[in-house]
Amino acid sequence: MSSFSAPSSAAAAATAPSLPSPSPLPSSQADSQAEEARPYCDTMPPPRPVAPAASAAIPANPKVSARKPAVSPRQKFRLAPGFGLMDWVRLKAASPDLAQRGGASPSRPVPRSELAEHGSQFDGWIALRGVVYNVSAYLPYHPGGAKVMLPTLGGDATAEFDKFHRWVAIEGLVGVLRVGVLVED
């Protein structure tokens, strides 16, 4: 039989060096109150008072505040109401034949001479990376405006397209406008 006996909790409290005075609350409640009052652990320094924002101390510069707000390069061209990206997405979903293929294959060969015949705003085709698209329906939705695209209608617009936005996903945006594949006459 062992001679060792665990000290009772009262005895342990009496012999402990200098523990904080016991709380009259049940231990779980006392713990939660202590948490609220002292959210940091004992090893952390107390929170420092927050200094006022540096900007608050700096008087407004009249030259700067008098300037006009900077115009985002994204706002170079303002689309008409109802011609935003989501409107284009809705139109695509609702229209069975925006490219006006009339049942022809989207992979049919389109000779360069045929492409050249479609150079007007309401019957405008362009070639991009070897694929021909009927972009008439897209013109009012083009974020860069219709005007900039007009001179490219009826021809290969790949160079101009890449000049402004080579990263734009052509198929994702105007894949439904595909007429065919550009071929030489």
Positions touching ligand HEM (CB under 6 A) are 73-74, 76, 133, 135, 138, 142-144, 148-149, 152, 157, 160-161, 164-165, 168, 170, 173-174
Query: What's the min distance (Å) between Cβ of 137 and ligand HEM?
Result: 10
Q: How far is the CB of 150 from ligand HEM (least distance, A)?
A: 8
- Grouping H, G, I as helix, E, B as strand and the rest as coil, residue 62 is helix
Q: Which is nearer to ligand HEM, 90 or 165 (CB)?
A: 165
* Closest by Cα among 156, 171, 177, 179 to 109: 179
Tell me how far apart the alpha carbons of residues 112 and 55 are, in angstroms, rounded to a whole number.
62
Q: Which residue number, 54 or 93, has a Cβ lying nearer to ligand HEM?
A: 93
- Closest CB to ligand HEM among residues 111, 143: 143
Beta carbon of residue 113, minimum distance to ligand HEM (angstroms, whole number) = 20
Nearer CB in complex with ligand HEM: 108/165: 165
Least Å from the CB of residue 100 to ligand HEM: 15
Q: Are 183 and 111 in contact (CB under 8 A)?
A: yes
Q: Alpha-carbon distance 182 to 125, whole Å? A: 11
Integer angstrom CA distances of residue 165 from 11, 29, 109, 154, 168 = 80, 63, 26, 20, 6
